[in-house]
Amino acid sequence: MDREGAVALVTFDRPPVNAVDLEAIEGFRALAEELGADAAVRAVVITGTDRAFCAGADVSMMRDLSAENHRKVRRWIDVQAALEAMPKPVIAAIRGYALGGGAELALACDLRVISADSTIGFPEIELGLFPGAGGTQRLPRVVGPARALRLMMLGERLTGEEAAAIGLADVVVPERAGVLPAAMDLARTLAERATRTIGLLKRAVREGFGLPIEEGLEVEETAVFELIGTEDAREGLQAFLERRSARFTGR
């Protein structure tokens, strides 16, 4: 992990293709918890190498089809849950392949930056499997259930431009060399904003999504009353009244 001011850059580098094993899962879990609790970190960028963001689960790990092993494998969903619940913005910077568990990791991030020639998809069906570490739940929430089902049943792989066209990616850059600079620029911009507010916004959307509107509004109300007690909210309103730029602190 590297730090640039309030932005933390997490680089996954497990040759040759950044496949996830049990050790990597535990490492990601610990790091996500650490970054979530670090008030000095106000935005996080997750990336891989130029060849692969993450090519999914290490097949040698998956060959053990026992329930005991797959309970360990499914701790990958704990990593994703920690990213979603992180009270600050999280950006996936995708270069090369983001397949299977790698695509699931990207889906758990708030924003996805990808190059036009990179590839994202869920090829598990080719192994007689389906995306069982969050993919069946998160992908439909991003692209809709019918499209998600088609992508998973056919194991389709999408280019960066194709992913952006269906809302699976947020920013597309022409070449892989531009992915990390674009993601870091976005992270720096977000880190200067009211990151405490962003954290509450994430929580309201995550917890309210899918609820009946009345229950969703209760989730929102809880977040609103927590929000009005923050320093960021006070600073934002005061700065507006004083006609100056707000100086947010993430508190």
Catalytic residue IDs:
104, 124
**Closest C-alpha to 53, from 84, 75, 20:** 20
150-177 burial string, b = 16+ CB within 10 Å, else e? Answer: ebbeebebbbbebbbeeebbbbbbeebe
Token pair, residue 172, equals 């597309």
Task: Please report, for residues 103, 189, 208, 231, the alpha-carbon distance to residue 172 in angstroms, rounded to integers and kept in the order given.
Answer: 16, 17, 29, 34
- Whether 114 and 169 have beta carbons less than 8 Å apart is answered as yes
Task: Please report, for residues 73, 127, 154, 240, the alpha-carbon distance to residue 130 in angstroms, rounded to integers and kept in the order given.
Answer: 14, 8, 11, 50
Question: What are the residues facing 119 on neighbouring strands?
Answer: 97, 159
